[in-house]
Copies of this chain bind each other. A is one copy, B any other.
Amino acid sequence: MKIIVQKFGGSSVANVDRIKNVARRVVSYKKKGFGLVVVVSALGDTTDDLIALAAQITDTPPEREMDMLLSTGEQISCALLAMAIEELGFHAISFTGGQVGIKTDMTHTKAKIIDISGERIKEALKKGKIVIVTGFQGVTQDQDITTLGRGGSDLTAVALAKAVGARNCEIYTDVEGVYTTDPRIVPQAKKLKQITYDEMLEMASLGAQVMQARSIEVAKKFDIPIHVRSSFNLAEGTMILKEADKMENFVISGVTLNRNEAKITVCDVPDKPGIAAKLFKEISKNGISVDTIVQNVSRKGSTDVSFTVPIGDLTKTKSLMMRFTKKIGGGRVLENRDIARVSIVGVGMKTHSGVAARMFEALAEKKVNIDMITTSEISISCIIKKKFAERAVRSIHAKFGLG
């Protein structure tokens, strides 16, 4: 029996009608003879409602109790989906993460999966049952409930696909797949038929919202193809797969935009070996992740170091840097919130030359000045002024003929 894992996000099960809809879709696959493992998120706004309840009680809820609270959301949607499937005359059984042996570490609210036994799932599948599993959660060795953090249900789906030997993992969501760029910015944006794990990883880290990086990493590691598609229609979505399986290779697959970064510039840093290491160690040990870094050429034995951080970490980073310059030496610390990162992603870059030049051209044509540039093997990012962000995305999208 060929097993498929299907994951339905919160918007796909936002109300009773949508749950019934999901049930019908699941059953249609069962009729085709597939073994089905269905991972479900919490109903619509349930998780937010529970967070709001907790907020009325305390500003600092213990994380273990937060997990105890939030995990109920998926338990509810799982039970309801199982009922809806039974109502259609098919056998379903729902399980919590703990019941199917999703063991995690003890990092409450953002736990890591350590192991999945999946025995009960296999047993139930053998009996012909449709198996429903709560997304987003597991248990520690002590049976304490943990949640997996953002994108946790996707991760559950991919990890279960590995555990039960599924050949395919379908992620149902409220968009039809992965697009060449955000269709709200570029109406001509096209749905991609295929994208590689690495491209998707780059796009996720560069601002695309479709899937979190961690589930794609797991899918890549175990080579589990992911089909991202809409739960509201039957259209094929986007397959995320390994490079060798990708049929069509355009030069670039997508243009992403991230407006949630800010820039810090530390002026007049002494240009001595080890200073940069010290500076960034200071930041990383405070749990802040730095992105683009630019260091200017040294003048008179000192240099300016610029880098970007998530906008929420800006204030903290700035005060860290001010303490740093006092101790180590250095000048003023400047902040700039008026930046956006526009990036292109594509495995085609590895074999095509002139990709960067074309991107810069697209920006120049629209008189967009480039502040900083970084590149990886399959992506190029430019930091530009925020007000030029959408104009830049449109220009690049057109330049590479993605529309």
Chain B residues in 8 Å Cβ range of A98: 143
User: Quick check: is A294 within 8 A (CB to CB) of the other chain?
Assistant: no
Stretch of A48-56, A247-255, A327-335, A338-346 that contacts chain B? A48-56
| Total number of A residues with any Cβ neighbor in B under 8 Å | 40
The answer to whether B65 touches A16, judged by C-beta atoms less than 8 angstroms apart, is: no
Q: How far is the CB of A90 from chain B (nearest CB, A)?
A: 12
In chain A, positions 323-365 with a C-beta closer than 8 Å to chain B are none
The answer to whether B53 touches A65, judged by C-beta atoms less than 8 angstroms apart, is: no
The answer to whether A80 touches B54, judged by C-beta atoms less than 8 angstroms apart, is: yes
User: Quick check: is A64 within 8 A (CB to CB) of the other chain?
Assistant: yes
Cross-interface CB contact of A144 among B19, B78, B84, B99, cutoff 8 Å: B99
Stretch of A66-74, A152-160, A186-194 that contacts chain B? A66-74
The answer to whether B53 touches A16, judged by C-beta atoms less than 8 angstroms apart, is: yes
In chain A, positions 23-70 with a C-beta closer than 8 Å to chain B are 50, 53-54, 56-58, 60-62, 64-66, 68-69
Cross-interface CB contact of A54 among B83, B93, B143, cutoff 8 Å: B83
The answer to whether B19 touches A87, judged by C-beta atoms less than 8 angstroms apart, is: no
The answer to whether B68 touches A16, judged by C-beta atoms less than 8 angstroms apart, is: no
The answer to whether B65 touches A94, judged by C-beta atoms less than 8 angstroms apart, is: yes
Q: How far is the CB of A381 from chain B (nearest CB, A)?
A: 41
User: Quick check: is A322 within 8 A (CB to CB) of the other chain?
Assistant: no
User: Quick check: is A20 within 8 A (CB to CB) of the other chain?
Assistant: yes
User: Quick check: is A212 within 8 A (CB to CB) of the other chain?
Assistant: no
User: Quick check: is A215 within 8 A (CB to CB) of the other chain?
Assistant: no
The answer to whether B82 touches A62, judged by C-beta atoms less than 8 angstroms apart, is: yes
User: Quick check: is A288 within 8 A (CB to CB) of the other chain?
Assistant: no
Chain B residues in 8 Å Cβ range of A293: none
Cross-interface CB contact of A83 among B16, B20, B65, B76, cutoff 8 Å: B65
User: Quick check: is A283 within 8 A (CB to CB) of the other chain?
Assistant: no
The answer to whether B72 touches A76, judged by C-beta atoms less than 8 angstroms apart, is: yes
Closest to A71 in B: B75
The answer to whether B16 touches A56, judged by C-beta atoms less than 8 angstroms apart, is: yes
Q: How far is the CB of A22 from chain B (nearest CB, A)?
A: 11
User: Quick check: is A372 within 8 A (CB to CB) of the other chain?
Assistant: no
Chain B residues in 8 Å Cβ range of A60: 87
Cross-interface CB contact of A76 among B16, B69, B96, cutoff 8 Å: B69
The answer to whether A94 touches B68, judged by C-beta atoms less than 8 angstroms apart, is: yes
Q: How far is the CB of A65 from chain B (nearest CB, A)?
A: 5
The answer to whether B58 touches A84, judged by C-beta atoms less than 8 angstroms apart, is: yes
Q: How far is the CB of A43 from chain B (nearest CB, A)?
A: 9
Chain B residues in 8 Å Cβ range of A61: 83, 86
Q: How far is the CB of A7 from chain B (nearest CB, A)?
A: 19
The complex places the Cα of A65 from the Cα of B93 at a distance, in Å, of 7
User: Quick check: is A79 within 8 A (CB to CB) of the other chain?
Assistant: yes
The answer to whether B99 touches A83, judged by C-beta atoms less than 8 angstroms apart, is: no
Given A57-B16, A87-B57, are A69 and B80 also a contact pair (CB < 8 Å)? yes
Closest to A82 in B: B65
Q: What are 5 sample pairs from A and B whose C-beta atoms fall under 8 A apart?
A: A58-B83, A61-B86, A62-B82, A65-B86, A69-B79
In order of increasing CB-CB distance, the 9 nearest A-B pairs are A69-B79, A72-B72, A68-B79, A58-B87, A16-B56, A65-B82, A65-B79, A61-B83, A57-B83
Instruction: State the A residues within 8 Å of B (CB).
Output: 16, 19-20, 50, 53-54, 56-58, 60-62, 64-66, 68-69, 71-72, 75-76, 78-80, 82-84, 86-87, 92-94, 96, 98-99, 120, 142-145
Known: A16-B57, A20-B57. 13 other contacts (CB 8 A): A16-B53, A16-B56, A53-B80, A54-B79, A58-B84, A58-B86, A68-B82, A68-B94, A69-B75, A69-B79, A72-B72, A72-B76, A75-B75
